[in-house]
A and B are shown apart, each in its own frame.
Chain A
Amino acid sequence: MKFETFSTADSFLQRLDPRVKLLSSLALIVVIALCTTFAAACGGLSVALLLVLAAKLELKLVIRRLLLVNGFVLFLWLTLPLTYPGTAAFTLGPLDFSREGIMLAALISIKTNGTVLVLISLLATSSVAALGQALVKLKVPAKLCLLLLFSYRYIFVIHQEYLRLVRAARLRCFKAGTNLHTYRTTGYLFGMTLVKSHHRAHRVRQAMVLRGFQGQFHSLYDSSVGKTEIGFALLMLTAVAALIGLELLSRISS
């Protein structure tokens, strides 16, 4: 299974220091998440679209990802117009579609998709290993960074291990269905995965202690903040300031 769909493309965004990307994405997402006007939300979405273009990602993959994460938004579109209190925009048989509900669902859709595009273009273009090292440099508690780096390291191993158990079950004619047998089998397979990973943790820990592990995770990545990074940070700062200005202006005028 491939997780990091977007970190392999090659553009200046992939090469940018992950610290700058992490902080810029956080700033952009906070502004997008907190804005309450259409102007600022659309502004945020356009910034995010420009970033996706700059990252030179395969648009087909980006669109497929957007469709997947819009599940909750779809659910809001199904419920909010019918249940949100407000004046009816139009009536369909016994159903009243509230104007406020539709507006809110539309605003949320813009904000959610803007955020997802920022995540794709700024975070998903780095590997988690690089992001973990960036968090270390940003003075996030060391144990949390180790937790991120180690668990990222072993997700793939453990996933393979689980899939091997599933394959063994299939060879013995296991077919998943909505029944207790399926839940029991899944429970046992996952239980076995837990037991195996417990033993693996024990072995890895011993190996690390033997090699003198004292809580540092040295990295071979060497990224530094250069002119490109400072330029990009300034650009993002301007964008964030512009979005805040847009939000305040349209709040005053409405």
Chain B
Amino acid sequence: MHISEGILSAPVLFGGASLAVAGTLIGLKKLDLDRIMEVSMLTATFFVASLIHVPLGPASIHLVLNGLLGIMIGWACFPAIVVGLLMQAVFFQYGGLLVLGVNAVNIAFPAVLCFYLVRPLLAAAKTRPLAGFIAGSGSILLSSISMALSLAFTDIGFLATAKITVLANIPIMVIEGFITMFVVSFIGRVHPELLWGAAK
């Protein structure tokens, strides 16, 4: 899900960075000090999710679960994702510093969208699995499209590469959809208040 440093053009990089700063400030404003531990713990948990590999044929993919994070904490997912990406850059050198803004927007914006569009479906136990699937696969679909757009806006010659990126993400969409669905229905049975307790 990362774009490496050194690929995107200045307007895309700075545009992404300003959007990421705006999103992070909104997220921090909605996050009061009382909930900081809760959101930090979720940030750590979703960082751990990115270390979980599930097999896909002969290869394996790692989880992103940004849709799940979005429906759980709404706008606060922006700072959480920025922090997660920063730690990935320091630990594993994935992504970079300047491109962090673009990557954060690509991952966090679909998550916030899920919060507004999918969350109403979460309330009823009947539509909950559906909500989970839509959030999980929809956020990966939107993330890969927005990643493709960042490439295409940089240089129209990247268009074919960008299209391949979206196609390559289709199996991930299906897997993330199912896993998010199972997580949501599990939490819905075990600890339902966790699904909306953290968001405000």
- Could you tell me which A residues sit within 8 Å of B by CB distance? 1, 3-4, 25-26, 29-30, 32-34, 41, 65, 68-69, 72-73, 75-76, 79-80, 82-86, 100-101, 104, 108, 110-112, 114-116, 119-120, 123-124, 126, 128, 131, 141, 143-144, 146-148, 150-155, 157-159, 162, 176-178, 180, 182-184, 186-188, 190-195, 197-198, 200-202, 204-205, 208, 215
Contacts and interface: CB of A to CB of B under 8 A. Distances in A.
B45 A114 contact: no
Interface string B134-159: 00000000000000000000010111
Given A72-B2, A128-B87, A176-B54, A34 B187 contact: no
Contacts of A215: 33
Contacts of B181: 187
B179 A204 contact: no
A110 to B, nearest CB: 8
Contact of A150 (B28, B36, B52): B36
B36 A146 contact: yes
A183 B98 contact: no
Interface residues of B, number: 73
Contacts of A148: 83, 86-87
Binding site secondary structure of chain B: helix
Contacts of B96: 29, 33, 115-116, 119
9 contacts: A34-B98, A69-B93, A120-B93, A123-B89, A151-B43, A182-B54, A188-B183, A191-B182, A194-B183
A190 B52 contact: yes
Contact of B90 (A115, A128, A191): A128
Contacts of A128: 87, 90-91
Contacts of B66: none
Interface in B29-57: 31, 33-34, 36-45, 47-49, 51-52, 54-57
A189 to B, nearest CB: 8
Given A155-B48, A180-B178, 20 more contacts: A69-B93, A80-B161, A83-B159, A104-B155, A112-B6, A126-B90, A143-B28, A144-B24, A146-B36, A148-B83, A150-B44, A151-B41, A158-B45, A177-B55, A183-B182, A188-B186, A190-B183, A191-B187, A197-B44, A198-B191
Interface of B: 2-8, 10, 13, 24-25, 28, 31, 33-34, 36-45, 47-49, 51-52, 54-57, 63, 65, 79-80, 82-84, 86-87, 89-94, 96-99, 155, 157-161, 164, 175, 178-183, 186-187, 190-191, 194, 197
B47 A147 contact: no
B94 to A, nearest CB: 6
A83 to B, nearest CB: 3
B55 A182 contact: yes
A69 B33 CA distance: 36
A187 B180 contact: yes
A131 B86 CA distance: 10
Contact of B91 (A4, A76, A112): A4
B41 A197 contact: yes
Contacts of B51: 1, 159
Given A155-B47, A159-B51, A147 B93 contact: no
Contact of B48 (A32, A82, A186, A193): A193
A141 B44 CA distance: 19
B157 A84 contact: yes
